[in-house]
Amino acid sequence: MDTIVVTPRGYAKYGKEEKERLESLGYQVDMNDTGKPLSREVFKEKAKEAAGIIVGVDQLDGELLRQCRNLRGIVKFGVGTDNIDLKTCREMGIGVKRCLGTNSNAVAEFTIGMMFACARNLVSNVEEVKKGNWTKPTGIELRGKKLGIIGFGSIGREVARMALGIGMEIYVYDIADISEDVLHHYEAAQKETNWIFEECDFITLHVPLTNETQHMISEKEFHKMKNTAVLINAARGGIVDEKALWKALKENEIYACASDVFTTEPPKNEEWIKELLSMERFLLTAHIASRSREAEMAAVKTATDHMLDLLRQES
């Protein structure tokens, strides 16, 4: 009997019916229902016996994959595959699928929410009121502002749709050409990144972490931005050079930054990182942009369908 290892806690929470579907088709489902991440050693032992793995953030590096002699399919319970050694998967003939589109709305809503939080000083003002203070900062409105969207896949397009309803001007960059029909639909103009850095009031990131995108925003890019600019990163840690961000905020090169991700999660206990986290104009959340109930329920269904497809078993 083939075993499917399932590690994401979202699957355990919302996947009872899909687990039963897999079992009814003859699979043994080894699901992490502890409510905690699996240790590296426990995950390794389970992975070595699996025919399929539905994985969240656990590392499937080459060293581990080469020990997985039964493994035929991996499904990422999400979009980013930076925790999966795709080259080794290709060499070993292991199929890999992602749950594309299942969290697009959740991440887009989170991104827009962070834009409002930065523009209106919401987090810092709530904290001030809780301390007994009654300060009244003056923020800015989003309507009429230029929004630069870097990465115009399903999440970037959802951000554009919502921002268009707010009344923002939409400018987009993607490594691929965007058709005129798509640009017309979102009332967007395609621009190069330098133009976006120099001209946009808000900049949002929706690209994968690759060799090309690592530190794509660093000191040089911050120098180009308006000192009133707001940067939102709901993509991956490492796309923004966080030490350069710390300097940019200290020197008022940009107004604010909100991020759902960090290069090392949780952040290391280093002095410059502690200072960055303490800054009023830097907001960091614990990689929760995609974590809505609706998104996780959609990902459960998609992940199960993908796994059955990879294991050549019709549902």
Residues marked active site are found at 236, 265, 287
Lookup: tokens for 243: 């030490």
Tell the residue number behind the tokens 């229902």, with chain if given. Answer: 33
Task: Return d(Cα 205, Cα 233) in angstroms, integer.
Answer: 5
Contact 34, 54 (CB under 8 A): no
Task: Return d(Cα 113, Cα 227) in angstroms, integer.
Answer: 21
Tell the residue number behind the tokens 């800015």, with chain if given. Answer: 140
Sheet of strand 73-76: strand arrangement: 28-31, 3-6, 52-55, 73-76, 95-98
One-letter amino acid for residue 294 of the chain: E
Contacts (Cβ under 8 Å, ≥6 apart) of 229: 200, 201, 202, 203, 254, 255
Q: What secondary structure does DSSP assign to 44-113, as a single string?
A: HHHHTT-SEEEESS--B-HHHHTT-TT--EEEESSS--TTB-HHHHHHHT-EEEE-TTTTHHHHHHHHHH
Contact 74, 84 (CB under 8 A): yes
Contact 33, 12 (CB under 8 A): yes
Task: Return d(Cα 98, Cα 89) in angstroms, integer.
Answer: 14
